[in-house]
């Protein structure tokens, strides 16, 4: 297992290695035919996502917001899909 020292990425994530890894994993899972990596990728998806965050190609706040929206299970009353049926 390789050691990763990603100080720029950690600073972008507010100083937390955990937040950086969570953001990178969310970004890596979002890759698809429509959502290609923004940097040349020769490694696995996680490393590519870490490089994107470190280089500033993807904003940490955007990834965090995407992960929250994707995993949100409680909706406001006016937007509750179960009550609308």
Q: What does the pLDDT look like over 25-48, one tens digit per residue?
A: 888 888 877 778 888 877 788 888
The secondary structure of residue 84, as a DSSP letter, is: T
pLDDT digits (tens, 9 = 90+) for 19-29: 888 888 888 88
Query: Which pLDDT value is given to residue 43?
Result: 77
pTM above 0.75?
Answer: no
Contacts of 48 (CB under 8 A, 6+ apart): 28, 31, 37, 39, 41
């Amino acid at each position: 297992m390789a050691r990763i020292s990603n100080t720029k990425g950690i600073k972008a994530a507010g100083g937390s290695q955990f937040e950086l890894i969570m953001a990178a994993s969310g970004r890596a899972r979002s890759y698809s035919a429509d959502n290609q990596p923004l940097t040349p990728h020769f490694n696995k998806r996680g490393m590519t996502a870490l490089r994107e965050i470190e280089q500033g190609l993807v904003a940490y706040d955007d990834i965090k917001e995407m992960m929250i929206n994707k995993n949100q299970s409680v909706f406001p009353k006016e937007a509750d899909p179960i009550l609308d049926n």
